[in-house]
Amino acid sequence: MSTPKILVVEDAKAMLILMKYHLKNAGFDLCTAENGLEALQVCETVTPDLIISDMMMPIMGGIEFRKKLQKNKRLRDIPFIFLTAKAQVKEELQEANLKITAYVRKPFDPDKLLDDVQSILLSKEAV
């Protein structure tokens, strides 16, 4: 099997660098975007195996980005992890009727995020 490709969508440079460092060291192939609009452009040429996206970003936030993915046959079933600092994230995601795989609160434990990523990718392989 080829190296899993992960799309990381994050507008905070320090957070993006932290995620890139940990995910690349774990052996994943990464592509990045700084907002949902850039991420949609990346998805025109790349089909990631997993997407990790911040919820609150300029230009196009994570919720709008996820809604657009759900309308695309090729992209809608990609496992999706939201990163957020919001306290009421569960309720907001239920109201938006989004299909997400997981959400992780910021600040996050990089080892826990890696565990989540690996278990999601393993379960995807099993399907």
**Residue 124 reports pLDDT greater than 90:** no
Q: Which amino acid is at 26?
A: A
Tokens matching residue 100: 């997400």
Provide CB contacts within 8 A for 10, sequence distance 6+: 16, 19, 32, 34, 52, 53, 54, 57, 83
Query: For residues 93 and 55, is the Cβ–Cβ distance under 8 A?
Result: no
pLDDT digits (tens, 9 = 90+) for 44-66: 999 999 999 998 889 988 889 99
Query: For residues 39 and 9, is the Cβ–Cβ distance under 8 A?
Result: yes
The pTM assigned to this predicted structure is 0.89
Burial bucket for residue 86 (CB in 10 Å: 0-12, 13-18, 19+): middle
Across all residues in the chain, what is the average pLDDT?
86
pLDDT digits (tens, 9 = 90+) for 82-119: 888 766 666 666 556 677 777 787 888 888 889 999 98
Q: What is the CATH number of domain 16-85+97-104?
A: 3.40.50.2300
pLDDT of residue 1: 54
Q: How many CA atoms lie within 13 A of 127 on its CB side?
A: 9
